[in-house]
Amino acid sequence: GESVGLHLPTLSVQEGDNSIINCAYSNSASDYFIWYKQESGKGPQFIIDIRSNMDKRQGQRVTVLLNKTVKHLSLQIAATQPGDSAVYFCAERPDSSYKLIFGSGTRLLVRP
Amino acid sequence: GAGVSQSPRYKVAKRGQDVALRCDPISGHVSLFWYQQALGQGPEFLTYFQNEAQLDKSGLPSDRFFAERPEGSVSTLKIQRTQQEDSAVYLCASSLAGYGAYEQYFGPGTRLTVT
């Protein structure tokens, strides 16, 4: 299948370690944020979301942090596994809109 | 249940040819989106349908791009007189409702290569 993210920044972590992927978003009026995971040859897969009235949300092994002051979003993955290897995109939804604006992505490589 | 499906998965077109890309959204999903993803980039919004109504086509790069969803379910993205810069992965996403229901479910994409 096609390769996603040939020229993306790469984060390499050891299996079992925690991963932190960062994203700077552009629109201070955005009210909703999502992290997507994209494996080669597949479409983006929803991981976790957060609304602008929150600063932290936890899922299973994942946590999203939102800092509206500096327009920064991060995704924390606990106990990273080989199956977590993929390209990760943050996306924002500008207020009163329905479209998503995606960031440029980060490739996560998990070393066994 | 079945997710969003797209066909064909791969399409090679000679420059100047017309292509049609199909999207089958999740049954019952009101909203349908098309995105274009260039190699190494995040998806970029092309157009949005709510049922059969195309509410936003601001992301379509030129008048060679046309999308339709005549019965509010299956959608087709058509590109006329393809150019090399049209080479990309075209992603379709659907959502249960419009504004207020946020999660968009993506299909696997159609990779278009224009030679």
The radius of gyration computed from the CA coordinates of chain B, to the nearest angstrom, equals 13
B-facing residues of A in 32-71 (CB < 8 A) are: 32, 34, 36, 41-46, 49
- Find how far residue A97's CA is from the centre of its chain: 20
Write the DSSP string, A24-46.
E-S-TTEEEEEEEEE-TTS--EE
Amino acid residing at A73: L
Note whether A93 contacts B: Cβ–Cβ < 8 A.
yes
| CA distances (Å), origin A1, targets A39, B2, B20, B100, B110 | 10, 21, 20, 34, 11
What tens digit of pLDDT does each residue of A11-44 get?
999 999 999 999 999 888 898 999 999 999 999 9
Do residues B11 and A73 touch, judged by C-beta distance below 8 A?
A: no
What tens digit of pLDDT does each residue of B47-57 get?
999 999 999 99
pLDDT recorded at residue B98: 67
Residues of B in contact with A97 (CB under 8 A): 99
Do residues A105 and B42 touch, judged by C-beta distance below 8 A?
A: yes
Note whether B49 contacts A: Cβ–Cβ < 8 A.
no
- Find how far residue B54's CA is from the centre of its chain: 12
Note whether B42 contacts A: Cβ–Cβ < 8 A.
yes
Backbone angles phi, psi at A2, to 5 degrees: -70, 155
Cβ <8 Å between A98 and B103: no
pLDDT recorded at residue A75: 98
A26-30, A63-67, B15-19, B77-81: lowest mean pLDDT where?
A: A26-30
User: If pLDDT is split at 50, 70 and 90, which confidence band does B99 have?
Assistant: low
pLDDT recorded at residue A51: 92
Walk across the sheet containing B65-68 and list its strands. Answer: B5-7, B19-24, B75-79, B65-68
Do residues B78 and B23 touch, judged by C-beta distance below 8 A?
A: no
Please identify which residue in the block is written with the tokens 């791009």: B65
pLDDT recorded at residue A4: 44
User: If pLDDT is split at 50, 70 and 90, which confidence band does B100 have?
Assistant: low
**Closest-CA residue of chain B to A105:** B42
Q: Using CB atoms, pick whichever of A41, A89, A99 lies closest to residue B42.
A: A89
Backbone angles phi, psi at B79, to 5 degrees: -125, 120
Cβ <8 Å between B40 and A8: yes
Distance from CA of A94 to the nearest CA of B (A): 11
